Amino acid sequence: MKKNIITIIALCGLINTIEAKQFGSTIHFEYNQARHKSSIEAFNQALNDAEIVVVDFFATWCGPCKTLGPCIDALAKELNSIKFIKVDVDQHKQIANQYNIKSMPTLKFFKNGVEKKTLIGIQSKAVIKRTIDELS
């Protein structure tokens, strides 16, 4: 059975999805000089790694993001078939700009690599689950 994954994209702007280290339900990507991808390439690849992907665009200084974080973590543990990705907008401005992120937190929902829905601000667990169910 595939474990649910929370992906944190956040090291030096360069990450390698092959060189991931798992810590509980979180996977941290680390830079590998021999085989590296830009953060945007790795992010785009991660969007296609599962049928449904939820991306949490956050900032470490953002109060509402800190409130939403535990809800996302709980859903990641609960929903095994959904992939959750966390993107720190300060670390990955290029990704945030590509997806026109203006407010945090912003949740983007993808199905088969295609963006389907966006929720801005703090959301309840029920709203997030209902949005995921709509995509299923």
Among 1, 2, 11, CA closest to 86: 11
Write out the DSSP string of 20-49: EEEETTEEEE---SSS-EEHHHHHHHHHTS
Enumerate the active-site residues: 62, 65
